Amino acid sequence: MPLDMSNQPELAIPFESTRALLTKWQARDPGKTAIVDLDQNDKSITWGQLANEADKVAQYLSDNGVKPGEKVAVLSDENIEKLIVWMGIWRFGAAICPLNVEMNEVHLVEILEGIKPALTLWHHELDGSKLTAGLTNPALKFGNWNLEKGDAIDAGELFTLLAGYPDRAGADIESENSAEDLSCIFCTSGTTSKPKSVVYNHMAYWLNGLNTLDMLGLTEDDKTLEYRSFGWNSAQILSLMPWLQTGLTMHIAKRFSRSRFFDWIRHHEITFSAGVPTVVNMLLNEPPPEDEREVPSLRLMTCSTAPLSPDQWEKFESMYGVTLLQLYGMSEAGWICGNRHYRRQMGTVGPPAKHQEFIIVDGKGNHCPPQSEGEITIGGPQTCMGTVSPKGAFEDLSTARIKTGDLGIMDEDGFVTVTGRTKDLIIRGGVNIAPLEIDNVLLKNPGIREAAAVGVPDKIYGEEVVAYVAVKNGESLTEDDVKIWCTDSLPDFKAPKQVHFLDDLPKSDRGKVLRDELKDIWKAAQN
């Protein structure tokens, strides 16, 4: 049973700039490890080193014409260098645009052109020259920040340039981020075929970080693990912000590894790990031998992006002896609800998060009383400033109430249960996938007449992509033909894992494909 800490005092941490926080952690304990990169042989950086490198990045930005408040795009997988660059951008007072490199290259180029960054920094393992070819502003690659003697030197990359800066370079640059300044523009797959970008200020990030601290109870003594992309809002507010706010030690990996997970926990004495339904289900369905499950340091994991059943939740805690907390958020709103380390209820997403305006409304927009189902809406200072379309058009959401598209019920004790979605989004492994994007790829096949993608239950990923197609008269296609067609245009996680053929897809009287009927067809076929 969870500890009864319902009378825990309110967290009240005044806003501090990235510059102030890095200076504080450098002064407190410069030799304390800040980041461990698990995919680079446990390469690490201390808080003292991180503060110095962030100052150097700030100096570079200043020397090369970037102004505080301007946007700097970062194209990179997850690594220690990406986070050094990130902290340098924020320390300088510029806004970061971290683009997910797993995204379709065409979309990446379009997003870059729409954002119009003052500078683009790209990791040397990418084909950055191709991705940035159409930009009018400069682009620069970056590699290893701590080159050893004898390593190959690339004079045209960022950290080689920074290595030539004198000690304390950039430390006296007075620019820094304020609470209302633009903080981050990141991409999310929305309800259209092309991703949109979400815009946040620093205060929203700060408040979301405080909510994470409230939910998880993290302190400077914790050692955390994050294996998701920092291009996603969830990783930013669950791991990045609490790390920066508390000065704890964060361990990062490019992706989850079942074979390495428990070794990571034991070797580094991890106390908290991020989680998603995919990971939880994987650990439930393919558990390691009982003697390898012993992870005494790990006290807490989270699960977000899709609800867990009480049975899954209880089974996980029983199997691993680790407290699991179900959280609920969205890209445009940050944290919406969350179970707390001191107050939780299995089968729910917890009470509403603080620092925001949570309201469940009926079809007419009226407040729903407890135990009544309605759409979850959210507003307040922790939500986004707005969104940017692929063509660069900004939609101001700073004073808007955001409709989540999710249905929910709040009980008499304030715990919320998400009961369904009004949207057609497929949530696979914690990542939102727009069916329309898959539909459009399918319909480009000369042999396909009608097409629709739906999400169906999956033990590992929560949901998996299934496609239904109707073939043109006289054409002949196999399931493998369609799968191969999709893999040429879609990343693997969006490509359909099953393809089913129908004479005609079910449609409404207005000609709209009825995806719910397709899901029913799939369910019936499983019996």
pLDDT in tens, 330-354: 999 999 999 999 999 998 999 999 9
In angstroms, the CA 301 to CA 437 distance is 32
pTM score, whole prediction: 0.81
Question: What are residue 272's DSSP bridge partners?
Answer: 224, 300
Give yes or no for residue 450 having a pLDDT over 80. Answer: yes
Residue where one domain finishes, among candidates 125, 142, 177 = 177
- Residue 327 resides in a domain: no
Task: Give domain status of residue 283, yes or no.
Answer: no
Sequence-distant (6+) residues with CB within 8 A of 259 are: none
pLDDT at 21 over 90: yes
Which CATH number covers residue 168? 3.40.50.12780
Residue 21: what residue type? L
Strands (E) across 227-266 are located at: 249-252
233 Cβ partners below 8 Å, 6+ apart? Answer: 186, 188, 198, 329, 330, 331, 334
Phi, psi of 403 (to 5 degrees): -85, 120
d(CA 186, CA 197): 5
Q: Choose the weakest-confidence range: 51-60, 430-439, 462-471.
A: 430-439
Q: Which residue has the tokens 């700073």?
A: 398
Give strand ranges (E) for 380-502: 386-388, 394-396, 402-410, 416-421, 426-428, 431-433, 448-458, 462-471, 498-501
Among 129, 151, 177, residue at a domain's last position = 177
**DSSP characters over 238-297:** IIIHHHHHHT-EEEE-SS--HHHHHHHHHHHT--EE---HHHHHHHHHSPPPGGG---TT
Q: Are 87 and 64 in contact (CB under 8 A)?
A: no
Question: How much of the chain, in percent, has pLDDT values that exceed 90?
Answer: 65
Single residue among 177, 209, 231 that ends a domain in this structure: 177
For residues 66, 128, 39, 321, the Cα torsion angle rounded to the nearest 10 degrees is 80
Q: How far is residue 187's CA from residue 512's CA, in Å, rounded to a whole number?
A: 28
How would DSSP label each residue in 351-369? SBPSSSEEEEE-TTSPBPP
10 band by pLDDT with thresholds 50, 70 and 90:
low
**Is residue 32 a part of any domain in this protein?**
no
Residue 191: per-residue pLDDT: 35
Directed axis angle between helix 258-268 and helix 277-285, to 10°? 100
Q: Which of 104, 177, 154 is nearest to 493 (CA)?
A: 104
Domains in the chain: how many in total?
2
pLDDT at 150: 46
Confidence check: pLDDT of 157 > 50:
yes
What's the pLDDT at 388?
Answer: 84
55, 87 contact by CB (below 8 A): no
Residue 496 lies in a domain: yes
Q: Which helix (H) or strand (E) holds 323?
A: strand 323-330
Q: What is the mean pLDDT of residues 64-83?
A: 96
Q: Are 71 and 185 in contact (CB under 8 A)?
A: yes
Report which secondary-structure segment, H or E, holds 46: strand 43-46
Give the domain CATH number at 465: 3.30.300.30
- 29-35-37 Cα angle (round to 5): 150
Is 321 contained in some domain? no
The three-state secondary structure class of 9 is coil
Place of tokens 């407290």: 323
Mean pLDDT of the chain: 89
Residue 310 lies in a domain: no
Q: Do residues 198 and 331 make contact, with C-beta atoms less than 8 angstroms apart?
A: yes
Q: Residue 240 gets which letter from DSSP?
A: I
The yes-or-no verdict on residue 189 having pLDDT over 60 is no
Q: With a cut of 70, say whether residue 423 has pLDDT above it.
A: no
- Which residues are within 8 A (CB) of 347 and not within 5 positions of it... i.e. 6 or more apart? 307, 309, 310, 313, 417
Is residue 408 included in any domain, yes or no? no
The gap from C-alpha 186 to its chain's centroid, in whole angstroms, comes to 9
Answer yes or no: is 494 within a domain: yes
Per-residue confidence band for 78, with pLDDT thresholds at 50, 70 and 90: very high
The CA distance from 238 to 222, in Å, is: 14
Binned at pLDDT 50, 70 and 90, residue 187 comes out as confident
Domain span including residue 463? 426-526
Q: Give DSSP secondary structure letters for 83-112.
A: HHHHHHHHHHTPEEEEE-TTS-HHHHHHHH
